[in-house]
Amino acid sequence: LEEMARRYGRALQGAGLRDEGVAERGFGRWPLILGLLLGLPLALAGAVLNGLPLWLAQKIADWKVRKFEFHASVRVAVGMFLWVFWFLGWVAAAALSGNAVLGAVAVGMPVLGIFALFYRDKLESCLQEWRFRSLPAGMRTELKQMRSALLMRLKKHLGREGSTVNSQAS
Q: Report the candidate in 50, 60, 61, 72 with the shortest Cα–Cα distance to residue 119.
A: 50
Domain count for the chain: 1
Q: Report the candidate in 25, 19, 22 with the shortest Cα–Cα distance to residue 5.
A: 19
| Residue-range definition of the domain harbouring residue 116 | 2-169
pLDDT at position 165 is 41
pTM of this structure: 0.73
pLDDT digits 0-9 by tens, 29-88: 778 888 899 999 999 999 999 999 999 999 999 998 888 888 899 999 999 999 999 999
Which residues contact residue 128 at a Cβ distance below 8 angstroms, ignoring those fewer than 6 apart? 17, 18, 20, 21
CA atoms within 13 A on the CB side of 160: 5
Write down the H helix ranges in the chain.
Answer: 2-15, 19-22, 29-64, 68-97, 100-134, 137-169
DSSP character for 4? H
pLDDT digits 0-9 by tens, 110-161: 999 999 999 999 898 888 888 888 889 999 989 999 999 999 998 988 887 6
Is the sign of the CA dihedral 130, 134, 139, 142 positive or negative?
A: positive
pLDDT at position 161 is 61
